[in-house]
Every structure is written in C-alpha cells, then in structure tokens.
Amino acid sequence: MRRIAFAGFNLESVTAVPQVSTRADFERVTYRGAEIPAQFRGTNTVAGGTLKVLEAAGAEMVPLYHALLGALGPAADDAIIAFGDELEAGLTGNGPLDGLVLYLHGACWAPGFEDVERYVIERARAAAPDLPIAVPLDYHGNVDARTFAAADIAVAYRHSPHIDMGETGERATTALLRMIETGVKPGLAVARPGVVISSIMSATRLEPLSEIIAEARALEAASDCDISVMGGFAYADSPNTGMSVICLDWDGQPAAEAKAKALSDRLWQARADLTGAIPVWSMEAALEDAAAHRGTGRPIVLLEHADRMNDSTHLLRAMLEPAIAQRLGRVMVPFLLDPASAAAAHAAGAGAEITLELAGKSAPETGGPLPISARVLWTGEKRFTVSGRYQQGAPVDLGLTALIEVGAIRISVVSHFAFAVDGDPFYIFVEKPEDYDVILLRSKTHFRDFYEPLAESILVTDTPDLGPADVRLIPFAQLETAGVYPWCADGGA
C-alpha cells in the first residue's frame, strides 16, 4: 500500500497589517494526525479531496498537520520555522513514504523570508531528497519558478470564489500517484506577465479573465497538462507578487514552458482590462445608490473590500448617520472582529443597553473605533459547519460572539476572524439574508458564489484602508514595480 504524507500550512498575508500571526494563532486552527481525516473527509477542502483520491486508490494518508489560518497579516518567523521543523520530523519519523501532498497558500509573508512557500518546500526536500512532492495551492499565490524548484507537481484552485478546493486536492494527488506509479516526472513551468491586480478584480467569472482561463481549459483538453492561471495577491509584498501561470505538463519541460508563456502573454495583452474589470464605488455614491434602490425584496450588498482584518468602520460609521440610516432600512453587518466588544456585550447580557468603542482597532487605516450605544440581542460561544460551497463542511469557530442592534442595523461581533461569504452568518442566528435591505460584507470574491444570485446589486466600495482597489497605493518594498503593470506606461493595451 502506498503511503502518502499530507501536511498543510496556509495563510494569506497582508504585509501592512500590524498584527502578526504567531505560533499560538496557527496552533488554534491546527489539526494533527488522525484529527485530519476525521475533520476533513467528505468536505470540499484540499485535505478532503486528497483523502478521496488516496482512499479510492487504496493508498494510505499519513497525516502530519493541517493549519489553515485564512487571510490575515504577516506570519511570525518562528511560526514558519516551527512548522518547517515539524514537517522535517514528520517526513523522517513516519516510516517509509511514497509521496507528499504539501498544501500551501503561495502568499504567506513573514519578515525573515523572501518566499515562505519556497522555504517550506525546500525543508521537505531536505528531509526527503527523493520523495515525489505535490503542492496544491491557492489561486492567490505569488509564485515564480524558484518557488517550485524543489517540488515535482504544483496545481492551484481554478475558481475564485474557491469552490473547487476539493478538486484541487484531487488534481494534486492524482498527479502525484501518476508520477509514483509511472516513474515519470512531469514538466513544471511558471511564467509571469508582470501584472498586479487587486483582489476584487481576481474573480474568475470577470471578463477578460474568464476568457483567458477558458483558453487554459482548451489547452488541457488538447494535450496532457494541468494549467493554473494565478490571480496573485497584491497586498503581500514579495519579489514575486502578481499574476502568474503554472503549467504541469506530462509532455515534458519544453511543452510546459511554452504553454505557461503563451497564457502569460495573454494576461499581459489584457492587462488594462484585467485591472479595471468592474466599477468601484465611492462610499457616498454607494450609500446613495443603496438608499435609492432598496425595497425590492432582494438585499443590496455593500462590499467594504479594502478592509483586511474584518474590523474596519468606514462604511458602518457612514451608515449610522441618522439621515443615511433611516433610508437604508434593515441592515446586517456580519462577523465584525472585536473580541473586547464581544466580551463586553456578553458580560452585560442579552437585553442590556451598552456603550461600546466598536472595532477599528487593528490599524489606524481601519477608520478607528466607533462609539455606539447598542442593545444586546444574543451572546455566547458560536461554532458551525460551513454550508456554502466555499469550504463546504469545514468547521468554523467564531469564539465568544455577540449579536447587537443599533436602530435597524444588526451587527454580529466575533472573537475570531471568519469569512462572511454565504448564508451562514444569518442561519446561525435563525435569520435569512433575504429579510434584510442592505448587507455589509468584507469579502473580495468568495461572496459571489452565494450572493450574486441573491442580491439586487453588489456595490464594490472603496475606502481609505489597507487593501485599496488601486494597487499603486500599496507601499511596496520587495516588489520591483518598474516594468510591472499598472506602474509602467500602459502602451495602449
């Protein structure tokens, strides 16, 4: 029986966020050993997809660890090193192994590393010089050829929203088993067009991105390869920040290089349209539009996309202005991150009237804390299982949570960062999104799978925050922006 090790270490880092994700933060979400199949079997996750393929092939998963922290700030250097140490120990201390599935993000950033993922892969290679290594990763990874120099296989999500995490685990594991059984190492190439797009422009159904991705699918249908068109992640500052194309090709390295280059050229040609694929609203215009068009029976989604820590207060502050609030109707603000306010509401108890300095505490750019008087509707520990397609079946722990109300605006205040991208922020309080006029979300693309069919309109709203729509506002220190779009002269693309 083939024995395939599995390890996952996954964080999307905004370099400018002051809060560092520590070893303890990773530990809070880490599963080890038998916990991994127990938690992820049958889920739409990379670990779930990996298990599905291994079990169907009669192979054994040797589960090491799974730490998926989501999208936050930088990682602490010692957390990266500790998980690297644990990976090495896991690969040398678990008997003979036939392969490794190493699930990474691609845009984890830590101050002591030029490329965190490259470091982790190199640790695995150092521990197991001849072991086939497959790396499933996030579509928002910042990668180059050096990232995967010590790996054999790399494939990424094809969709943003990431509704295909399970399939990505399946693709990586299927390719790994093929390499093990045939002894053939596929070609693996990365091409970079020199284009940086904001997260909101990385939704894979937007044109012309969707057309270029369709060309990748056509190339796969015509030959024996697996292509990952990568959106990259503008807010992680590294030498390889930006879009890329990964090609895994069973026809060899020259074929992989040619296909990656061809699609990378297509991204460069489309650069102006990629960076401006959807309209971005000012706060004032978005609030006016939401007020003018409510009452259709379908909610309007306001997207405070530039918020990177789920605690920004720019839009909420504007919505609480009485003249605006009375025109917006019923408003829900899900999963606002503020452990201190959740604890204060819990101490006061349901039914209490309290004053809070709400959220806006992670960085000055968030808009700062918002002084409010609110009524507490519910408090307690909240855990649930994801019902939407993004990470379906995965466990979520919000920690101590409070549902509070200011006039017609309801806010769920949570203690752990969590994505509000589907119906769960409503269902967990026995509510429905359809019952609200306006919903304030902080997602970038993942909300689209659930909310595009549901919403009357989606207003992508820019605020002066850490994740601006115009990537030229990001203070890059590591990325050399000369020659990269949109810093370089357009050339009339």
Residue numbers of the site for Zn ion (CB under 5 A)?
Answer: 138, 140
- 287 contacts: CB under 8 Å, gap ≥ 6: 302, 315, 318, 319, 324, 328
CB nearer to Zn ion: give 4 or 230: 230
Q: Residue 367 and residue 243: Cα distance in Å, rounded?
A: 30
CB nearer to Zn ion: give 163 or 225: 163
Q: Where are the alpha helices (DSSP H) in 240-397?
A: 253-269, 271-275, 283-293, 314-319, 322-328, 339-348
Tokens standing for residue 176: 């790994």
CB of 38 to Zn ion, least distance (A): 25
CB of 447 to Zn ion, least distance (A): 13
Burial of 289 (0-12, 13-18, 19+ CB in 10 A): middle
Q: Residue 455 and residue 186: Cα distance in Å, rounded?
A: 44
CB of 207 to Zn ion, least distance (A): 20
CB nearer to Zn ion: give 317 or 446: 446
- 89 contacts: CB under 8 Å, gap ≥ 6: none
CB nearer to Zn ion: give 158 or 294: 158
CB nearer to Zn ion: give 235 or 268: 235
CB of 139 to Zn ion, least distance (A): 5
Q: Give me the phi and psi of 261, to 5 degrees please.
A: -65, -40
| Angle in degrees, CA 46, 49, 55, rounded to 5 | 135
| Angle in degrees, CA 163, 164, 167, rounded to 5 | 160
CB of 11 to Zn ion, least distance (A): 11
Cβ atoms 229, 263 nearer than 8 A = yes
CB of 54 to Zn ion, least distance (A): 24
Is the torsion defined by CA of 46, 52, 54, 57 positive or negative? negative
Q: First vs last Cα of the chain: how many Å apart?
A: 54
CB of 157 to Zn ion, least distance (A): 7
Radius of gyration of the chain (CA): 22
CB nearer to Zn ion: give 30 or 160: 160
CB nearer to Zn ion: give 127 or 469: 469
CB nearer to Zn ion: give 151 or 421: 421
Q: Residue 261 and residue 265: Cα distance in Å, rounded?
A: 6
CB of 71 to Zn ion, least distance (A): 8
CB of 268 to Zn ion, least distance (A): 22
CB of 26 to Zn ion, least distance (A): 18
Q: Residue 302 and residue 458: Cα distance in Å, rounded?
A: 6
Residue nearest to Zn ion (CB): 140
Name the nearest CA neighbour of 163 among 357, 455, 421.
421
Query: Where do we find the tokens 């960062």?
Result: 417
Phi-psi region of 95 (alpha: psi -120 to 50; beta: other; left: phi over 0): left
Cβ atoms 452, 388 nearer than 8 A = no
Q: Residue 419 and residue 384: Cα distance in Å, rounded?
A: 12
CB nearer to Zn ion: give 138 or 257: 138
CB nearer to Zn ion: give 140 or 259: 140
